[in-house]
Amino acid sequence: MLLPAGVSVRRYLLPLRSSRHWRAAQRQRRLPRRSYTGNQEEFMSQENQTGFFRQYFIACFQPGKYKLLLEKKTGSHVLYLGLLLLFLLVVDTLIPFGAWTASVGGFRNLFMNRIPEFTLDNGTLTMESPLSFEIGSSIRVEINSGVEKYTQEDFDEEYLQEILVSKTNVLIRTGETGSELSLSELSLSALSGLYLDNQVLTAAIPAIMVMLLFYFIMIFISKAVQYLIVSLVYGLICRVGVRSPEGETLSIKDSFLIAVYAKTLFAIIGSVNASLGYIISSFWVSMISIVFVMSYMFKAEVSVLKPEVS
């Protein structure tokens, strides 16, 4: 196309560049690139974020990425530990107890049909015939009014916990040995003003359920206290063994949080082992867990203190 004399190409195209159609065309050309950039940023965000279940996976299998967990807010750490302890309570306490309750047909059937007729009056137990049963495979209960008084020699260390009820006393053992620290005894003479029989127990089922609820809450609290104390001990011990190139060590808070996460895997293994009746000795589980937890903490502390490459 020939241009009029004296009109340059640039001057001829200038109105077109400033036109609305030209600007719209330019925007259309840029759209794919902007869309790609947005998708790329979204992809990188998804790759870098540490989701809820991802926290547990990292805690159990990727100690080298604990730095991502330490960047979480305090509320996230609290939620993580609370749900972990709730899971442990369900696995090693609620599931075995629920299975046992179902096996006896519920408390009403247990009190009216499974337990022989008995009376507890003036601090003395009288039962029609002895009763012995197991809760799960680690708790043994034996009630025998023909025995005047149970003693420590009557325990069977094959079980983790035992409850022995005689004519005059109740003896309870918790733990793997019959040491004095794990024994508690109740003399039935202290209940001389209490009368119990099968019908009274059946009528007291609602109260028993409330007592069980408080019992499970206390177990949860004790698990939390024990978990936190052990994590603090791990943190204080392991933080002095790793230093950065500048000679710095982790803060007590970071070491404590690393220990909380490092204990996750073997806390779960220990609860499953307890639920299955300690198919592996708890002693060996504890020894192996110490080695693995300290190894996890060492790897995590090295990864946190390692200087980042700019």
Question: Comparing 6 with 280, which gets the higher pLDDT?
Answer: 280
Give the tens place of pLDDT for each residue, 289-304. Answer: 999 999 999 999 998 8
Question: Comparing 308 with 93, which gets the higher pLDDT?
Answer: 93
Q: How confident is the model at residue 37 (pLDDT cuts 50, 70, 90)?
A: very low
Provide DSSP, 43-96: HHHHHH---HHHHHHHHHH-GGGHHHHHTS-HHHHHHHHHHHHHHHHIIIIIHH
Separation of CA 141 from chain center: 28
From CA 164, how far away is CA 148, in angstroms rounded? 12
Burial class (CB in 10 A: 0-12, 13-18, 19+), 166: buried
- Among 104-113, 137-146, 172-181, 258-267, the minimum mean pLDDT is found in 172-181
Give the tens place of pLDDT for each residue, 231-267. Answer: 999 999 988 878 877 778 889 999 999 999 999 999 9
**Residue 261's closest CA among 63, 64, 18, 31?**
63
Domain boundaries, the chain: 52-95+214-305, 123-192
126: how many CB neighbours lie within 10 A of its CB?
Answer: 13
Backbone angles phi, psi at 134, to 5 degrees: -120, 145
Indicate the residue type of 158.
Answer: E
From CA 107, how far away is CA 86, in angstroms rounded? 24
The confidence score (pLDDT) of residue 175 equals 61
In whole angstroms, how far apart are CA 132 and each of 77, 269, 291? Answer: 44, 30, 39
From CA 47, how far away is CA 253, in angstroms rounded? 27
Long-range contacts of 110-114 (CB under 8 A, 24+ apart): 111/198, 111/201, 111/202, 111/205, 112/198, 112/202
